[in-house]
Amino acid sequence: MPVQFSRRNFAKTVGATFGATMIAEHITLEAAEARLPRGFSPNTVILNSNENPYGPSKKAIEAMKRALGASARYPDALIDEMRETVARLHGVTTEQVALGCGSGDILRVAAQAFLAPGREIVMAEPTYEEMWHHARTTGAVQKIVPVTPDFRHDLPGMAAASNANTGLVYLCNPCNPTGTIVYRDELEAFVERVPRNAAIVVDEAYHHFVEDAKYGSAFDLLSRAPNVVIARTFSKIFGMAGMRLGYAVASAEMIGRMGRFGLWNPLNAAVVEAGLASLNDAAHVAQQRKLNNETREWTCAELTREGRRCIPSHTNFFMVDVGRDVGEVAPEFRKREVLVGRKFPPMNNWLRVSVGTRKEMQAFLKALREVVPVHPEAAAQGGSRRASAAKAA
């Protein structure tokens, strides 16, 4: 019997959702056990790479299993279908869509397409470093613009740093590692100020977690900003970090330039099947947003109660001030079987923590209290701040 690649069956089942927390917890345990690094016990809590602890949706898992039956065939038809699906989702043509082995692959191709020796890349500090690693291989010159005092992109500063020699401007929105966002009106003004000779790569890996009405995706500007390239990933809210799938949407001209540096059919059938199933599962996205955001808010409330400082986050991670160099603190967590984020200079005392399940975050809080004990005065101040906030509300 021939293997069917039709998405009709998936479309019929859109809207199903996991209502019970115990089901989500069961999926979490399976996903966590499957992705533990070698050498770590089953009790290890992994909060260092902004992964979704609940893993892919049931539909995505079932799609991957079915794809095994077509392992002997190249996935050309599936890849075409994925591009068509992404194009319909965003109201563009297939010539405006490029697929990659994770959004990191999209960043690599963008660096190669728009940079060259002596050309400049404008970036915030701190931000996701992978863009710079790829840019460095091209011989590009890095121009750094520090984040603002409230840990947000300094968009006026980044626009002012852009000129006729700028090949690429990188904007991570929401920002990794700070978790902050660029508002819709700010993004619109920024895009207008950056010279059209520079590609504006907007990394929206954490887009799905944002609930702030002032936030706006760069897709809102695509029709009037031909130099904008938007990168999305299936690694975060879709829970497919281990499968590697991402995509870019831009003008046909920009995608054409990137295509010269892309791999020929870099994707496998299983990941594309899972990606298609995920895009047709709006209920899973809503559920994952709710689970991750509620757990993040609960954890940050606990930290604030103890007098610790957290940066308000719009993602599935947050940063907390541990008062010491993160390079010294992280190994202490590791001894307690809790993996936390790396250091992001110059914010050396701010620890980035991924959001896990409620049980995993309780383990993190326990380890934090051992590694960086709460000072009584700070705890008292934290309680006062919380009481004042509650009174104001």
The per-residue pLDDT for 266 is 79
Output the pTM of the full model.
Answer: 0.86
State residue 303's pLDDT score. 98
What was the pLDDT predicted at 37?
61
Split at pLDDT 50, 70, 90, the class of 207 is very high
**Which range is least confidently modeled, 23-32, 249-258, 310-319?**
23-32
Q: Contact, 236 vs 205, CB < 8 A?
A: yes
Residue 39: burial class (beta carbons within 10 Å; 0-12, 13-18, 19+): exposed
- Residue 263 CA to residue 174 CA, distance in Å, equals 28
Please write down the HEC assignment for all residues of 67-125. Answer: HHHHCCCCCHHHHHHHHHHHHHHHCCCHHHEEEECCHHHHHHHHHHHHCCCCCEEEEEE
Domains and CATH numbers, the chain: 15-56+281-393 (3.90.1150.10), 68-279 (3.40.640.10)
- pLDDT > 80? residue 205: yes
Report the distance separating Cα 217 and Cα 235, nearest Å.
18
Span of 29-33, 76-80, 372-376 with lowest mean pLDDT: 29-33
In sequence order, the 6+-apart residues with CB closer than 8 A to the CB of 352 are 177, 317, 318, 319, 340, 341, 342, 344
Q: What are phi and psi of 97, to 5 degrees?
A: -120, 135
**Rounded-to-integer distance, Cα 22 and Cα 4, Å:** 33
- Would you place residue 11 in the very low, low, confident or very high pLDDT band (cuts 50, 70, 90)? very low
Spell out the residues 6+ positions from residue 195 whose beta carbon is closer than 8 angstroms to its own: 162, 163, 164, 166
User: Percentage of the chain surpassing pLDDT 70?
Assistant: 85
Q: 126 preceded by cis ω (within 30°)?
A: yes
Q: pLDDT at residue 14 above 50?
A: no
Q: Mean pLDDT of all residues in the chain?
A: 88
Per-residue pLDDT, 109: 96
**Least confidently predicted of 170-179, 182-191, 312-321, 382-391:** 382-391
Express as a percent the part of the chain with pLDDT over 90. Answer: 82
Mean pLDDT, rounded, for 212-227: 95
pLDDT for position 390: 44
Q: Is the pLDDT of residue 176 over 50?
A: yes
pLDDT over 80 at 342, yes or no: yes
Mean pLDDT for the stretch of residues 43-58 = 94
What token pair was written down for 271? 């990941």
274: three-class secondary structure by DSSP? helix
